């Protein structure tokens, strides 16, 4: 496990995910994006398996412009994020997705450390920008991104709201 970043949170380490990390990372993503509440609990194992298989395929492809990061406190994986290249209007650009922190570990600076580590990965690839989407009404996330100098550059269409999908903002940060 090669650490990219550690912080003031005792024993927090951010590192690139390997195939050996699939189960705990899939667990974090499943708990955050598909919490096993009510009827959703029946689908939870299926969601988790699908996430695990998706991560396995991405890691096995060995794409030099894909990185999944994990944040661990001690031996427990508590957060994750993915960085890859995404096609945009004028080419491919680094894009951060699936930033997930377990609810019990939120508001402790873990997402900030993941973002800073992701920015380092992107700079290592030779890029000077990082893009991500945030749900427009997710104020805690928007505050974090604003503190780290992510700027809104586009808003999704209102049509999405009509379809029941919350509007999102595309954010960009110019890396130094």
Structure confidence by residue, pLDDT tens digits, 94-118: 999 999 999 999 999 999 999 999 9
**Alpha helix (H) ranges present in 7-149?**
22-33, 40-61, 110-124, 139-147
Q: How far is CA 5 from CA 27, 78, 104, in A?
A: 22, 15, 21
Region 140-150 average pLDDT: 96
Whether 8 shows a pLDDT value over 70: the answer reads no
CA 27 to chain centre: 14
pLDDT above 70 covers a percentage of the chain that reads: 93
Query: Average pLDDT in the 161-176 region?
Result: 87
User: Residue 155 — pLDDT band, cuts 50, 70, 90?
Assistant: confident
pLDDT of residue 145: 97
Q: Is 104 helix (H, G, I), strand (E, B) or coil?
A: helix
pLDDT, position 66: 98
In the predicted model, is pLDDT for residue 81 greater than 80? yes
**Residue carrying structure tokens 């894009």:** 95
> At 56, which CATH number?
3.40.630.30
CA atoms within 13 A on the CB side of 153: 15
Burial of 142 (0-12, 13-18, 19+ CB in 10 A): middle
**Overall pTM > 0.85:** yes
Tokens representing 168 are: 């999102």
User: Where in the sequence is the domain holding 106, given as residue range(s)?
Assistant: 5-174
pLDDT band at 88 (very low <50, low <70, confident <90, very high): confident
State pLDDT tens for residues 17-52.
999 999 999 999 999 999 999 888 899 999 999 999
Into how many domains does the chain fold? 1
Band of the pLDDT at 4, cuts 50, 70, 90? Answer: low
Q: SS3 for 73?
A: strand
Contact, 48 vs 70, CB < 8 A?
A: no
Question: What does pLDDT average to over the chain?
Answer: 92
Q: Identify which of 93, 92, 90, 97 has the alpha carbon closest to the alpha carbon of residue 32.
A: 97
């Amino acid at each position: 496990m090669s650490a990219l970043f550690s912080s003031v949170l005792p024993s927090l380490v951010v590192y690139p995910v390997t195939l050996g990390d699939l189960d705990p990372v899939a667990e974090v993503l499943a708990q955050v994006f598909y919490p096993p509440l009510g009827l959703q609990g029946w689908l939870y194992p299926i969601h988790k398996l699908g996430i695990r298989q998706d991560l396995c395929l991405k890691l096995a492809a060995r794409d030099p412009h894909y990185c999944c990061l994990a944040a661990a406190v001690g031996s427990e994986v508590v957060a994750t994020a993915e960085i890859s290249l995404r096609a945009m209007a004028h080419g491919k650009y680094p894009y951060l997705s699936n930033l997930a922190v377990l609810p019990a570990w939120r508001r402790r600076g873990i997402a900030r450390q993941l973002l800073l580590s992701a920015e380092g990965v992107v700079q290592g690839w030779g890029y000077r920008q990082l893009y991500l989407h945030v749900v427009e009404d997710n104020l805690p996330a928007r505050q974090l991104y604003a503190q780290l100098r992510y700027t809104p550059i586009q808003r999704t269409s209102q049509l999405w709201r009509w379809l029941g999908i919350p509007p999102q903002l595309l954010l960009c940060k110019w890396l130094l």
